[in-house]
Amino acid sequence: MPENNPFEQLSLAELRQRRSAKWRAYDEDILPLWIAEMDAPLAEPVRRTIIAAAERGDTGYAVGEPYARALREFAAERWSWSGLDTSRARLVPDVMVGATEVLRQITAPGSTVVVNSPVYSPFYAFVANTGRRVVEAPLTERGRLDFDALADTFRSGAAAYLLCNPHNPTGTVHTRPELEHVGELAERHNVRVVADEIHAPLVLPGAEFTPYLSTTGGNRGFSLMSASKGWNLAGLKAALAIAGTDATEELARIPEEVSHGPSHLGVLAHTAALRHGGEWLDTVHNGLAHNRDLLSRLLRERLPQVDWLAPEATYLAWLDCSGLGLGGTNDPAATFLERGKLALSPGAEFGSGGAGHVRLNFATSEAILTEAVRRMAAVSDSH
């Protein structure tokens, strides 16, 4: 087990004292591995920053420029990307609000936005709520971008492409050549690319993150970034919308009041995470890589009928449970919840191709992860 593993520092009893959605959506007999929250203590620099702000009564309105500078420094160090211009970054409440505000500026009502299914379920609802239409270009069976499917949707009159990288729920990390190909197709068909890169800090050993704006073709694109997932800060709202070099004017058209939504404490926490939380993030990477290997072994031993591709990033496992024969159901998450007292995310929420799947959050302790697989296996064995 890795040293200083953050996922082994809190007991289940301590975790159940939390008041967040993960621990309050279900009764206490349910083991929750559904929503994207990590079972780890806060990074110490973040904890100190929040406490210090509270002690000095620093709870006013947010200023985004220090956050953007911290992200630029982090990107240069971690991704060898020095091209993040803080003058082309806007503070937004969170990644999805930022993405929809960008889409409002670059597409007309009724136009088509392409997504790669299965994909983070709010993509569908948020895009629909802007009055745009979602069209799917499914990933391949190996979880990679299907360029024939993308080309077909682009050719059919798509206005924008909402890209998820690293991809949720599969954990795929799109490579630079793949992203360069995206840029070529987008340029050819006049499609604007908006990249949700919220999981970028959580790329695990063996893969490499490439910021979309650093690629050829990224000049007309947009990126949404945040420290939220990397440092478990979903409750401290803050994100950045970043424009490519040829998209600055459109970013500037986002209404000024959008910048009122982020939390000042959130901006302080995210800035501290990016500037001073690197050592903690490294322990997270090691812990997640360990848990990914543990989950692989547990599935092989207890649930060999479950098919999955070990993720290259995130702490989310996309599990194909259709081979378990759970009474012919296409919603194994419902069966695991009812009969196994285990809460997982239903695959159907992630669009076409999701039936028969579940998404499991493995950012937890060995004991909890082992118990989760035990409960899944017990449900399967009872059929």
Which H/E stretch holds residue 136? strand 133-136
Q: Report the pLDDT value the prediction gives residue 330, as an integer from 0 to 100.
A: 79
C-alpha distances in Å from residue 173, one per residue of 311, 325, 372:
8, 31, 26
CA distance 130 to 109: 7
CA distance 168 to 244: 23
| pLDDT higher than threshold 90 for residue 383 | no
159: confidence class by pLDDT, cuts 50, 70, 90: very high
Q: What is the mean pLDDT of residues 90-94?
A: 97
* Residues 6+ away with beta carbon under 8 Å from 19: none
* Exposure b/e, 110-143, CB count within 10 A at least 16 = b: ebbbbbbbbbbbbbbebbeebebebbbbbbeeeb
Is omega for the bond preceding 262 within 30 degrees of 0, making it cis? Answer: no
Mean pLDDT of the chain: 96
pLDDT tens per residue across span 331-361: 999 999 999 999 999 999 999 989 999 999 9
Residue 314 three-state SS: coil
317 token code pair: 């496992």
pLDDT tens per residue across span 223-267: 999 999 999 999 999 999 999 999 999 999 999 999 899 999 999
**0.95 exceeded by the pTM?**
yes
Which domains are present in the chain?
6-44+278-381 (3.90.1150.10), 59-275 (3.40.640.10)
pLDDT tens per residue across span 121-153: 999 999 999 999 999 999 999 999 999 999 999
Q: Report the pLDDT value the prediction gives residue 327, as an integer from 0 to 100.
A: 59
| pLDDT higher than threshold 90 for residue 328 | no
329: confidence class by pLDDT, cuts 50, 70, 90: low
